């Protein structure tokens, strides 16, 4: 609990006949039922302070208030309403958990927006409903590596560090991939690179492939791929690569400026 106080005076210094009300405020300044996390006690209603009933003969009032960070739901403020004659003065206070006593004006904060109910927050964060355009996973590779295997061009070797994980979402998912490749000395001038499930390195499991043209030992060549997965296609996906035909030796040669990548995006 933290003590908050205020000394109210008329311009002449005389004692005002003030009516001060303090309550917990939620979104848009509306009253909210709160719970003090550390004690489990509920916060309801408002404190009303008047001369001789919470406001002393000098115009001073004070309250011992729970810190807003110790209140559930999160994101509350204390609403203070002061009425002197026909004039009403309102402010919102964000009370810290330590320190004090604090003058009320030192704790003034902006009125909050709406506090989202837990059910609505869960609905809003459900990627199966609101996952469009959200990056689900991504990998970016800047180090070169040689991929070598066997299989007569029918089986690939995973590009290390390229695996992405697609969660179970009730919407399609787009996989976008890019490679930068070069001929390995003694290796083939034709490469095949594809996106596929991490559990199946066969070329026939390819979701999309690229065969960058003009591969040689001196100039890196780019290749791009993309695939559209249906809803509920959860699993791990990687970039597979190898040489066309019987030679599976190939080189991935990305740089910091021209990276190899695989990105999963909710459609």
Query: In this structure, are strands 260-266 and 135-141 parallel, antiparallel, or unpaired?
Result: antiparallel
List the domain boundaries for the chain. Answer: 2-116, 130-266
Q: If pLDDT is split at 50, 70 and 90, which confidence band does 133 have?
A: confident
Per residue in 163-179, pLDDT (tens digit) is 999 998 888 999 999 99
CATH code reported for the domain at 2-116: 2.60.40.2190
pLDDT for residue 24: 94
- Whether the per-residue pLDDT at 150 is higher than 70: the answer is no
Measured CA distances, 205 to 104, 165, 178, 214, 240 (Å): 66, 17, 18, 26, 10
CATH code reported for the domain at 130-266: 2.60.120.1340
Average pLDDT over residues 115-127: 60
Residue ranges with strand state E in 26-172: 34-36, 42-43, 46-51, 54-55, 60-65, 71-72, 77-84, 87-93, 102-103, 108-109, 135-141, 145-147, 157-158, 164-166
- Whether the per-residue pLDDT at 186 is higher than 90: the answer is no
Residue written as token pair 């490679």? 179
């Amino acid at each position: 609990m933290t003590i908050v106080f205020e000394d109210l005076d008329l311009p002449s210094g005389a004692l005002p006949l003030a009516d001060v009300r303090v309550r917990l405020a939620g979104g848009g300044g509306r009253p909210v039922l709160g719970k003090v996390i550390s004690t489990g006690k509920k916060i309801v209603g408002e404190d009303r302070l008047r001369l001789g009933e919470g406001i002393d003969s000098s115009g001073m009032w004070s309250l011992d208030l729970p810190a807003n960070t110790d209140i559930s739901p999160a994101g509350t403020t204390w609403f203070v309403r002061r009425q002197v004659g026909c004039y009403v003065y309102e402010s919102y206070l964000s009370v810290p958990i330590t320190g004090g006593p604090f003058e009320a004006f030192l704790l003034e904060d902006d009125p909050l927006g709406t506090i989202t109910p837990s059910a609505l927050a869960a609905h809003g964060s459900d990627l199966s409903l609101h996952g469009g355009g959200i990056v689900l996973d991504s990998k970016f590779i800047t180090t070169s590596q040689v991929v070598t295997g066997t299989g007569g061009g029918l089986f690939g070797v995973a590009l290390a560090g390229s695996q992405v994980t697609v969660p179970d979402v009730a919407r399609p998912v787009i996989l976008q991939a890019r490679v930068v490749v070069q001929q390995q000395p003694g290796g083939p001038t034709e490469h095949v690179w594809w996106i596929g499930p991490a559990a199946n390195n066969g070329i026939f499991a390819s979701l999309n492939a690229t065969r960058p043209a003009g591969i040689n030992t001196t100039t890196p060549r780019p290749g791009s791929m993309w695939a559209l997965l249906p809803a509920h296609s959860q699993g791990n996906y990687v970039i597979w690569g190898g040489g066309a035909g019987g030679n599976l030796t190939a080189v991935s040669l990305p740089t910091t400026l021209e990276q190899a990548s695989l990105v999963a995006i909710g459609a």
